[in-house]
Amino acid sequence: MEVLIIASQLILSLAILVVLHEFGHYIPAKLFKIRVEKFYLFFDPWFSLFKRKIGETEWGIGWLPLGGYVKIAGMVDESMDKEQLAKPPQPWEFRSKPAWQRLIVMVGGVTVNFILALLIYAMILFVWGKQYYTVKSAEKYGMAVSYPELKQYGLEDGDIPLKVGNKKVDNLKDIFKFVVLEGERIVTVDRAGEQVEIKLPENFDQIVLKNEYSELYTLRFPTVVAKVSDDSNAEKAGLKSGDSIVSVNATPINYFNELQSALKENKKKTIELGVVRSGQLTQLNVKVDSTGFIGFQPQGYDYFNIPYATEKFGFFESFPAGISLGVETLGSYVKSMGLVFTKEGAKQIGGFGSMSKIFAPQWDWRIFWNATAFLSIILAFMNILPIPALDGGHVVFLLYEIVTGKEAPQKVLEYAQYVGFFLLIGLMLYANGNDIVRYFFGK
C-alpha cells in the first residue's frame, strides 16, 4: 500500500509539472499564432490512452510516464517530422517566426516551472510556515553521525553541533550546507557538556557522495515500531506495532541509527531482536534482507515530542520569502551538481526510484507540495542545460541565430536532435539502472 501511495504522489506531481511546463510552450506559441498540432501528457509511442482533437490541436494522454510534449508545427523536435520540414515554410509555422518569438516559446516551459516552484514555496510558507529543527531539538537525545566512516575524523554519536566555522547553527539543515556547499571544515559541538572543535577532511564532498544521506548529522531517537510491512520478515517474526527494539544479538540498542548499523552489518543473516512489548522483554528471530532491512516503519520525531521551530508568514510576506527559498534551493542544487562530475558522484545519480524517496509513505500535502516545488526547480534547471533535444539546446541555436543573423542549417538541427535524444535515453537508463543496483545490492 505504501508503494502505491508513494507512486501515486510521484505520478501526480510529475503530471502537474509536465502539463504546466508544456503550457509554458503552448501559450506563447498561440500568442504568436504558431500552430500547435499536439499536446500530450506522457509519451504515446504506438498508441495513446486518450486523445481528442479540439480545433487544430490533438490533446491526449500517453501510456509512457516519462514526461510530455507539445508538437509545434515547423519545428525540429522529438517527432523528427522531416516531411513537414521539407515543404516551404508556412506563416503559421515555428520556423517562419522571428528568432525572438521562437526564443520566448522555447524558454516558456522553464520559466513556468521556476515561477511555479516560487509560488508553491510561498504558499507552503503561508499555510504551514517554515518548520525546522534547531539545536534545541537535539538536546533531548543528541544527534547521530550520518556516515559511520566519518567517526574516524572525531565525530561522535550524541554530539550537538553548535557552530560551523564562525557560523552559529540555528537550522540543523544548515550544517550540511555550510560544510558541503560553502566549504567550511571546522565543526564545534557540545559533547557531554564540553565544547569540542572537529576538523573535517578536505575530501569531505567525496565521502558524502559514497552515501545516500545528505546530512552530516541526523537527529536520533529510540526505536518504536509504528507499522510493520505486510508479508515482511518483521511480520513473519512476529514484530508488532508499538514494540520497542532494545537489542540485536544481545547487544543493547538505544537509538534507531544504532539499529540501522546493526542491520547493515547482518545482511542476509538471522538475528535475535530484543523487543519490549507491554513492559515485557521478548526475543524474536528475524531475517535481515540483502539491503539491511527487516520491514517496518519506526515512529518519527513527533512521537517523541522532539521540538521544532516554526516561522510564520503573512500572505504578502510569504511571496518574497518563497522567492528567497526558491532561489536558495536552486543555488544549492546547482552547486551540488558540480559534485556529480566525480566518480562517486556519478554513482549517486538516480531515476524514478530516487525521486520517490522525497515523498512520504502516507499522504501528506505539505511534503507533497514541497517535493513538487523541488522537482519543479530540478525540471527547470535540467531543461535549460545546453543539451540538444532539451529546451536549452534549442535556446543555444536561437541565440546563435540572434547574434550572427544566420539560422543554423536544418541538417545540423536534425543531427543535434538525434544526438541529444540518445544522450537523454542513455542518461535515463543509467540513472534508473543505478536505482536498481542500489535496491538489489545495497550499493
* pLDDT, tens digit, 9 for 90 and up, residues 380-429: 998 898 887 788 888 988 898 888 888 877 777 777 777 777 777 777 77
Q: Please give the average per-residue pLDDT across 104-127, as a whole number.
A: 95
How many other β-carbons are positioned within 10 Å of the β-carbon of residue 352?
Answer: 16
C-alpha cell at 246: 532494545
Amino acid at 400: Y
Position 441 scores a pLDDT of 61
Q: What is the mean pLDDT of residues 286-314?
A: 90
Rounded CA separation 218/373 (Å): 23
Written in H, E and C, the secondary structure of 293-324 is: CCCEEECCHHHHCCCCEEECCCHHHHHHHHHH
Q: Are 375 and 115 in contact (CB under 8 A)?
A: no
- Find out whether 318 and 123 touch, Cβ atoms under 8 Å: yes
pLDDT score for 349: 67
Domains 135-219 and 225-298 share a fold: yes
Question: Mind listing the pLDDT tens digit for each residue in 321-347?
Answer: 999 999 988 887 887 666 555 555 555
The string of DSSP codes covering 91-152 is TTSGGGS-HHHHHHHHHHHHHHHHHHHHHHHHHHHHHH-EEE--HHHHTTT-EEES-GGGGG
What is the number of other CB atoms lying within 10 angstroms of the CB of residue 87? 9
Share of the chain above pLDDT 90, in %: 46
**For residue 268, how many other CB atoms are within 10 A of its CB?**
10
Higher pLDDT among residues 304 and 212, named by residue: 304
Q: Is 231 left (phi over 0), alpha (psi -120 to 50) or beta?
A: left
Cβ 278 vs Cβ 165: under 8 Å: no
CATH number for 135-219 (one of 3.40.50, 2.30.42, 2.60.40, 3.40.470): it is 2.30.42
The predicted structure's pLDDT at residue 348? 57
**Average pLDDT for the chain:** 86
CB proximity list for 208: less than 8 A, separation 6 or greater:
147, 180, 214, 339
Question: What would the pLDDT profile of 186-216 be if each residue is shown by its tens digit?
Answer: 999 999 889 999 998 887 776 766 665 567 8
Report whether 137 contacts 302 (CB < 8 A): no
**Residue at grid coordinates 536520533:** 220
- Within 8 A by CB and 6+ apart from 232, the residues are 294, 295, 296
Q: What is the pLDDT of residue 346?
A: 57
For the chain, give every domain's residue range.
Answer: 2-125+372-441, 135-219, 225-298
Q: Is the pLDDT of residue 443 over 60?
A: no
Give the other-Cβ count within 10 Å of 85's Cβ: 17
How far is it, in rounded angstroms, from Cα 178 to Cα 216? 10
Give dist(CA 421, CA 423) in Å, integer: 5
pLDDT digits (tens, 9 = 90+) for 246-287: 999 999 999 999 999 999 999 999 999 999 999 999 999 999
**What's the pLDDT at 77?**
67
- Whether 277 contacts 246, CB under 8 Å: no
Q: At 341, is the secondary structure helix, strand, or coil? A: coil
Report how far residue 207's alpha carbon sits from residue 192's, in angstroms, rounded to the nearest whole number: 27
pLDDT band (50, 70, 90) for residue 15? very high
Return the CATH fold of 225-298.
Answer: Pdz3 Domain (2.30.42)
Give phi and psi for 410, each to the nearest 5: -55, -40
124-142: pLDDT as tens digits: 999 999 888 998 899 889 9
Supply the pLDDT for residue 342: 58
Q: Note the pLDDT of residue 423.
A: 79
pLDDT, average across residues 304-322: 92
User: For the segment 346-379, what is each residue's pLDDT rounded down to a tens digit?
Assistant: 555 666 777 777 888 888 899 999 999 999 999 9
- Tally of CA atoms within 13 A in the half-sphere of 351 that contains its CB: 19
Confirm if 167 and 140 have CB atoms less than 8 A apart.
no
Q: How far is CA 75 from the centre of its chain?
A: 32
- Does 1 score more than 70 pLDDT? no
Sole residue written with cell 510521484: 10
